[in-house]
Amino acid sequence: MAAQRRHLVRDFNRYITCSMCRGYLIKPTAVTECLHTFCKSCIVQHFEESNECPECGIQVHETNPLEMLRLDKTLEEIIFKLVPGLREKEEQQEIEFWRKNKSRANGEEGPRPKRIRLSEEDDEKDDEQGGDYHRSDPQIAICLDCLRNNSQSGESIVKVCGLMKKFIRCSTRVTVGTIKKFLCVKLKLPSSYEARTQSFISIIIYLSFFTFFSLHVKNSVTHWFI
């Protein structure tokens, strides 16, 4: 029977340590663009000053790199099992932190830090629960102009009126999907029309009839072909 090979924790250190703080990964968080993993607190603090990965230097996101972060619960459990006492130590440090920051005036705990949004799903949940809808984000002005095409023979055309207010203001984090939903609601389009998105110089949203919107953001133009 072959002898079992024993491994020491230090044999795995390069896989379970953070390259930023040089400690064990606490709440390991992966950058989806390059899959490098860091402590959650380390990478969040880094992205407050830069939008590049500290490991490989690629640009994670142009405006909000926090959207490209994902917690790795599986790796977290592996680390806790590899390093004896690490879980208990972290829980104790968290208790001590809140105890030290306890309000001396009324004996209540101080405000908990704002939860970092790591995905669009979190944003949607916050909105449903009465969030701020990103009103504190940098805002951009958008003009939605209705441009009509001549109908071709044999095509069924759905008449679409222009928007009563063609100017809107929204967060710089607005997505194509959000604009699409906004147009569908404002134009009262039937729910049976399914949209698909393509990107080539302009971003085009197709439906089954032929009118299109031109989306102007500063000097760039995005066409909404409906």
pLDDT higher at 64 or 7: 64
Q: Which tens digit of pLDDT belongs to each residue from 141-198? A: 777 766 555 555 444 445 556 677 777 888 877 777 777 788 778 877 765 554 443 3
29/84 same-domain check = yes
- Domain range for 151 is 139-225
For residue 41, what pLDDT is reported? 92
Between 59-63, 107-111, 172-176, 222-226, the lowest mean confidence (pLDDT) is in: 222-226
Residue in 57, 7, 66 with CA at minimum distance from that of residue 34? 57
Res 119 pLDDT > 50: no
Residue 128 in any domain: the answer is no
Residue in 170, 182, 179 with CA at minimum distance from that of residue 204? 179
For residue 117, what pLDDT is reported? 47
Mean pLDDT of 15-20: 91
What b/e sequence results for 17-54 when a residue is b if at least 16 CB atoms lie within 10 Å of its CB, and e otherwise?
bbeeeeebbbbbbbbeeeebbbbbbbbbebbeeebbbb
95/158 same-domain check = no
Mean pLDDT of 107-114: 50
Residue 91 class from Cβ within 10 Å (0-12 exposed, 13-18 middle, 19+ buried)?
A: exposed
User: Global pTM?
Assistant: 0.44
Distance CA(167)–CA(140), nearest Å, equals: 10
Domain stops at, among 100, 125, 154: 100
82/159 same-domain check = no
CATH of the domain at 60: 3.30.40.10
User: Which contiguous run of DSSP H or E holds residue 141?
Assistant: strand 139-148
Provide, rounded to the nearest whole percent, the portion of the chain with pLDDT above 90: 20
72/146 same-domain check = no
Q: Which residue has the tokens 């971003």?
A: 203
Whether the Cβ atoms of residue 37 and residue 29 lie closer than 8 Å to each other: yes
pLDDT higher at 153 or 140: 140
Q: What is 9-31 written as a DSSP string?
A: GGGGHHHHB-TTTSSB-SSEEEE
For residue 159, what pLDDT is reported? 55
